[in-house]
Every structure is written in structure tokens, then in C-alpha cells.
């Protein structure tokens, strides 16, 4: 997140603007680490489960000498290892990546990578997740920033459903507007009309931090808005108190890299 400050004739002003840009970058990084913290405990649990599976199937394979059983055990161990690798890769790429690189990227892929990180957290909070990918749009994005936005929205949604509930994440193409849309919907408390205009303000929060110390700073949505606006996109909210809330991200569509003709708006259409 950096401001596109025009150099002025005032060196003091330039220095201040430089300072603001640096502080914004630091805030972004700190916010990112706090989100990592939020999912870390659930990921530790998940690793424990994976290890239990690996250990049990290894023992079983050692006990049984027949080929069929051993093959089954190896397959279970392999699947567990692959799941663990997927989670660590996601975690590392999320916490490491920095900088302002933008690239044309598959939004469904970004959503899926984020869901790997929060799946367990949602499960532990009895949130049932449904995904609907109506198309496979591409947009020009800073991948880690967009992941961060999605993590913030998903964790907010989960926090709005104390005791659990259903969450829906969808991706679609809005051809008329030339926009890709990602929606995160929860069936939680909703947001009263008088609070709705304030939720994107920095430091506006109605919560105390949860057991992972997540939430309560009021910086999540402020960051989401900054990120989406720096992507020339829009973030919209619709909420009904007592029913739930939907946040929709709209990002300008771009062509799938490597595709010369046609659109990428059909369901899972591939080149060729």
C-alpha cells in the first residue's frame, strides 16, 4: 500500500509524504502478521491431525506385510504429506511476499489458496463454508495483498457468527461492468444502518479481540478498502441486521495471460 505522491516543491512536505508511505507499508506488514497469528493456532491443530494420520498409517504398514494394505497406507501417508506441503507453501508465500508487484492472476486460485489457510479455523468455529465459482476471471493483482483482504473479510464474517453458521464465497464475472467479483457472505449479526457508514474508517471497531487476539483494532476493513482502491477496484457491503452481511470486491477484468482470443468468462474455460 503506497501513495502515489507527486513530488512537490516543498522538501519538508516530500519528506512527510515519504514517511506516511513507509508507515503505511509497516502497518500493512503488521496487519498481515496479525492475520497469520489468527490462523496459526488452527494450523497447528491441523498439523497435529496430519501427523497422527502419518504415524498411524506407518504403524499399520509395518504391521501388515501384504502389498494391498501397504499400498493403501503409502497412499494415505502421501496424501497427508501433500496436504501439509500445501498448507506450509500457502503460509510461507503469504507471510513472505512483499513489495508492489502486480500480475494478471486467476482469482479462483487466489481464493482457493486463502481457503487452505482458513479451512481449519472455520471448522473449529463451526462455520460451514460453501464456494461457488461461476467463472474463472483474471485480474491484475498484488497476490499477497488480495489474500490479506480476503482473510480479513473471512475472519470478520466468522467473528460475526458466534456459535457458528454458514459462509459463502463466490467468484463471478460481471461482463457489463468489465469487472471480476469476489463475494464473501456470512449469516451473522449484520451491521446496523447507523454503523454501516463507519466500518471502513480506521480504528472503527465494535469488538474486543477474540481468543487468538484477532479483531478489535478496526484496521482490517480500512486496509481492505485501501488495497482494493489501489487496484482500481471497489469494495461494497450489504448488510441486514440479524440476517448477515455480504462484502463484494470488484476488480477490473483482464485477459488470461497466454489467451489471444475469446473471453475467460465461461465456467473454467481453458485455452485451446
Ligand X SMILES: Nc1ncnc2c1ncn2[C@@H]1O[C@H](COP(=O)(O)OP(=O)(O)O)[C@@H](O)[C@H]1O
Q: Which residues bind ligand X (CB under 6 A)?
A: 152, 156-157, 160, 186, 188-189, 191, 199, 204-207, 215-222, 245
> 136-148: string of b/e by CB count within 10 Å (b at 16+)?
bbbbebbbbbbbb
For Mg ion, which stretch binds (CB under 5 A), given 100-108, 109-117, 154-162, 230-238? 154-162
User: Measured from the CB atom, is 110 or 167 closer to ligand X?
Assistant: 167
Task: Assign 20 to helix, strand or coil.
Answer: helix
Task: Work out what residue 207 binds among ligand X, Mg ion, none; the CB cut-off runs from 5 to 8 Å by kind.
Answer: ligand X
Task: Work out what residue 205 binds among Mg ion, ligand X, none; the CB cut-off runs from 5 to 8 Å by kind.
Answer: ligand X
Task: Work out what residue 204 binds among ligand X, Mg ion, none; the CB cut-off runs from 5 to 8 Å by kind.
Answer: ligand X
Question: For Mg ion, which residue of 42, 156, 239, 245 counts as binding (CB under 5 A)?
Answer: 156
User: Measured from the CB atom, is 151 or 253 closer to Mg ion?
Assistant: 151
User: Measured from the CB atom, is 31 or 135 closer to Mg ion?
Assistant: 31
Task: Work out what residue 90 binds among Mg ion, ligand X, none; the CB cut-off runs from 5 to 8 Å by kind.
Answer: none
| Closest distance to Mg ion from the beta carbon of 258 (Å) | 37
| Closest distance to ligand X from the beta carbon of 250 (Å) | 18
CB-based contacts of 188, cutoff 8 Å, min separation 6: 157, 159, 160, 161, 162, 165, 244, 245
* Cα→Cα distances 79→50, 59, 60, 83, 262, Å: 9, 16, 16, 6, 37
Task: Work out what residue 256 binds among Mg ion, ligand X, none; the CB cut-off runs from 5 to 8 Å by kind.
Answer: none
| Closest distance to ligand X from the beta carbon of 155 (Å) | 7
220 is a site residue for Mg ion (CB under 5 A): yes
User: Measured from the CB atom, is 134 or 200 closer to Mg ion?
Assistant: 200
Alpha-carbon gap, residue 234 to 238, rounded angstroms? 13
Q: Which three cell numbers stand for residue 104?
A: 494478471
User: Measured from the CB atom, is 30 or 51 closer to Mg ion?
Assistant: 30
Task: Work out what residue 188 binds among ligand X, Mg ion, none; the CB cut-off runs from 5 to 8 Å by kind.
Answer: ligand X
Burial class (CB in 10 A: 0-12, 13-18, 19+), 111: buried
Residue nearest to ligand X (CB): 220
| Closest distance to ligand X from the beta carbon of 208 (Å) | 9
Alpha-carbon gap, residue 63 to 258, rounded angstroms? 51
Do residues 188 and 161 make contact, with C-beta atoms less than 8 angstroms apart?
yes
Q: In which region does residue 261 sit, left (phi positive, over 0), alpha (psi from -120 to 50) or beta (all else)? A: beta
SS (H, E, C) 67-99: HHHHHHHHHHHHHHHHHHHHHHHHHHHHHHCCC
CB-based contacts of 261, cutoff 8 Å, min separation 6: none
| Closest distance to Mg ion from the beta carbon of 222 (Å) | 10
Interacting residues toward Mg ion by CB under 5 A? 156, 215, 220
Amino acid at each position: 500500500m503506497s501513495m502515489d505522491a507527486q513530488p512537490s516543491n516543498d522538501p519538508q512536505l516530500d519528506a512527510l509524504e515519504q514517511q506516511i508511505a513507509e508507515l503505511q507499508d509497516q502497518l500493512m506488514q503488521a496487519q498481515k502478521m496479525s492475520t497469520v497469528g489468527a490462523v496459526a493456532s488452527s494450523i497447528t491443530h491441523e498439523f497435529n491431525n496430519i501427523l497422527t494420520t502419518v504415524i498411524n498409517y506407518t504403524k499399520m504398514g509395518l504391521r501388515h506385510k501384504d502389498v494391498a494394505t501397504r499400498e493403501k497406507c503409502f497412499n494415505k501417508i502421501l496424501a497427508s504429506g501433500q496436504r501439509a506441503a500445501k498448507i506450509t507453501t500457502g503460509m510461507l508465500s503469504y507471510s513472505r511476499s512483499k513489495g508492489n508487484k502486480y500480475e494478471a492472476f486467476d482469482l479462483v486460485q487466489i481464493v482457493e489458496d486463502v481457503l487452505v489457510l482458513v479451512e481449519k479455523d472455520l471448522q473449529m468455529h463451526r462455520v460451514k463454508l460453501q464456494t461457488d465459482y461461476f467463472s474463472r476471471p483474471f485480474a491484475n493483482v498484488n497476490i499477497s495483498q488480495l489474500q490479506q483482504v480476503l482473510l480479513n473479510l473471512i475472519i470478520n464474517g466468522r467473528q460475526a457468527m458466534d456459535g457458528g453458521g454458514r459462509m459463502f464465497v463466490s467468484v463471478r464475472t460481471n461482463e457489463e461492468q468489465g469487472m471480476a467479483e469476489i463475494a464473501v457472505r456470512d449469516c451473522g449479526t449484520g451491521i446496523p444502518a447507523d454503523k454501516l457508514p463507519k466500518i471502513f474508517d480506521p480504528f472503527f471497531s465494535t469488538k474486543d479481540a477474540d481468543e487468538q487476539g484477532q479483531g478489535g483494532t478496526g484496521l482490517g476493513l480500512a486496509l481492505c478498502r485501501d488495497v482494493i482502491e489501489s487496484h482500481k477496484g471497489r469494495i461494497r457491503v450489504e448488510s441486514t441486521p440479524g440476517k448477515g452481511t455480504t462484502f463484494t470486491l470488484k476488480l477490473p477484468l483482464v485477459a488470461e495471460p497466454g489467451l489471444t482470443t475469446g473471453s475467460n468468462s465461461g465456467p473454467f474455460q481453458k485455452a485451446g
